[in-house]
Each structure stands twice: as structure tokens, then as C-alpha cells.
Amino acid sequence: MKVSFHGQSVVNVQTEAHSILIDPFITDNPLCDLDASEVIPDVILLTHAHNDHVGDTIPIAKRTGALVVAPNELAKYLESRGLRTHAMHIGGAHQFDFGKVKLTQAFHGSVFYDEQGEAIYGGMPAGILLMVNGKTIYHAGDTGLFSDIKLIGDRNNIDLAFLPIGDNFTMGPDDALVAAEWTKAKQVVPVHYNTFPLIEQDGDAFAKKVRPGKGVALKPGEHIML
């Protein structure tokens, strides 16, 4: 299974049978190496409704017919835009044909601004536990540090965790190091940094400090095999 990073919080999980795209902020992402008109996901997973996470979901899903899995209010909005969706909520899990998804807490906001600038409430923000091919991937979404990350780590054998380090809007590097320790993840990849000046951070410096697992600062387009 190939897990690749594509700038900001964009992650793609490629199994033998499915392409799973998380938070596809592509077109307006200066660090992304993907072309929104060319990606062909089977599934899109969304953590919350901010535009830098929903990104190109609507045009991608309309073009490909991809299933969009998202927090309930966001899923209902996207359904109203003609997308095929599956609504979930924090604490809930569902077994799909591509794997199992469980939404976790995340402490952040969740409002999407449409083409007319109207603010669409997207429900509670979330993190994602994705269980596929016997592996567990934790994508924390956008969040500050909270103590239940330790509970998530205690209750799940996490192989790979994606944690935000950008600060200002999410955890900064110091808090993310605590989160990394609490997740007990075998590998930790920093996300949500360097896309804009306000969230510039040193991903390599963060990765070197990760304990007890291994920190890996992926460049856009790089991947990890699980």
C-alpha cells in the first residue's frame, strides 16, 4: 500500500483495488504536485469544511463519481451539490469496501465558502482513522492538542499518523511532538505547514525530534509504503 503526501493536508492512499484521497486541496495549493483534472480517486475523505481541505472535492467527485465521506453537515451540503456522499459523525465508524473509517475529535472550525462567498456551516471538524489492509492510518485533520489524542493512541495500533505542525491555526511543532508521543504511531508525518507564510515551519527539524516512532517529513509527491 502506497501512502503519498501532496502538500498542505492532502494525502493519497493507494491500495491494489482503491485510490483514497484525503482533503484534496489541489488547485489553489502552491505546494501541491497533483493536477485536479487528472486525479481519479474512488473515494474522497474529508476532515472538515474549510476551503483548504474541501479544495477540489466538488469538481473531482463530479468528474469521477467518487464517493465522498465527510462529517454529516458537510456531506449533506455536498450531496445538495450533486455528489455521492456518505455522512458520518465523531465517534462513529463504518466498514466500506475499501476499508474501515472512524471519525475522531478535532478542535478547530468548519465553514466552507462557496463560489458566491456564502458561508456554509460544515458541522464538527474531525480527524480520521482509516483501517485498510491490516494497517491503521490516523489523519488528525486540523486540530489543536487535546488530551484524548492519548486515548486514540491507546485504543488503536497506529502505523502512520499525519499531524499538523503549522501553528497559528493548528498545533505547532512542540504540541505536535506531544501528540506524536501520545499516538504511539510507528511513523509520523507533519502536515499543514509551509503552504503559506503564516504557517511556515521546519518539517525536517520536527521529524528528527519525533519519539517513540519515526518522524518522516515527506516532500510533496513523496510516499511511504505500508
- Domain holding 48: CATH number? 3.60.15.10
Q: Is residue 224 part of a domain?
A: no
Q: Give the model's pLDDT for residue 221.
A: 98
Domain that residue 158 falls in: 2-218
Distance (Å, whole) CA 210 – CA 217: 11
Distance (Å, whole) CA 22 – CA 212: 26
Q: Is residue 24 part of a domain?
A: yes
Tally of domains within the chain: 1
Q: Is residue 223 part of a domain?
A: no
Q: Give the model's pLDDT for residue 206.
A: 98
pTM confidence score: 0.97
Beta strand pairing status for 43-45 and 67-71? parallel
Q: Is residue 135 part of a domain?
A: yes
Q: Is residue 226 part of a domain?
A: no
Q: pLDDT tens string for the chain (226 positions)?
A: 999 999 999 999 999 999 999 999 999 999 999 999 999 999 999 999 999 999 999 999 999 999 999 999 999 999 999 999 999 999 999 999 999 999 999 999 999 899 899 998 999 999 999 999 999 999 999 999 999 999 999 999 999 999 999 999 999 999 999 999 999 999 999 999 999 999 999 999 999 999 998 999 999 999 999 9
Residue with cell 485504543: 155
